[in-house]
Amino acid sequence: MTPHQDRVTVDGHHVATLVMLGGDFPWAHGTYTPGPHAAVVAAAFVDLPDGRRELDVDRVTAAGLGPPVLDDATYLHTLVVRDDGSAAWRSGFDPLD
């Protein structure tokens, strides 16, 4: 698979870059790099018991922000990252309710 890069934006702010290296539908797997406006969503990350961190999309929208969107206009539903920069995420054409 050819790597595919997407910016994650929230209300037009570039909060992260995801590079898809593979996947197992519905999950995509790859790398996560914080974007120049990562602070916009920093408080929405929650620590998981196994040491990973998850972007809680509900926290993003509860803070009065729009949902995270990828370059291809799909909505980011779930993002789980590790300290080494590896990541897994799910996205779809509709925002989660």
Which three-class secondary structure string do you get for 1-34?
CCCEEEEEEECCEEEEEEEEEEEECCEEEEEEEE
Radius of gyration, CA atoms only, the chain: 12
pLDDT of residue 97: 62
Give the Cβ contact number of residue 84 at 10 Å: 8
CB 73 within 8 A of CB 4: no
Give 33-49 pLDDT, tens digit per residue. 999 999 999 999 999 99
Q: What's the pTM?
A: 0.93
Residue spans of the chain under pLDDT 70: 97
Structural domain boundaries, residue 29: 4-92
Give the Cβ contact number of residue 49 at 10 Å: 5
In a domain, 46, yes or no: yes
In a domain, 18, yes or no: yes
Q: Compute the distance between CA of residue 27 and CA of residue 90 in angstroms, rounded to an integer.
A: 5
In a domain, 97, yes or no: no
* Domain total in the chain: 1
In a domain, 61, yes or no: yes
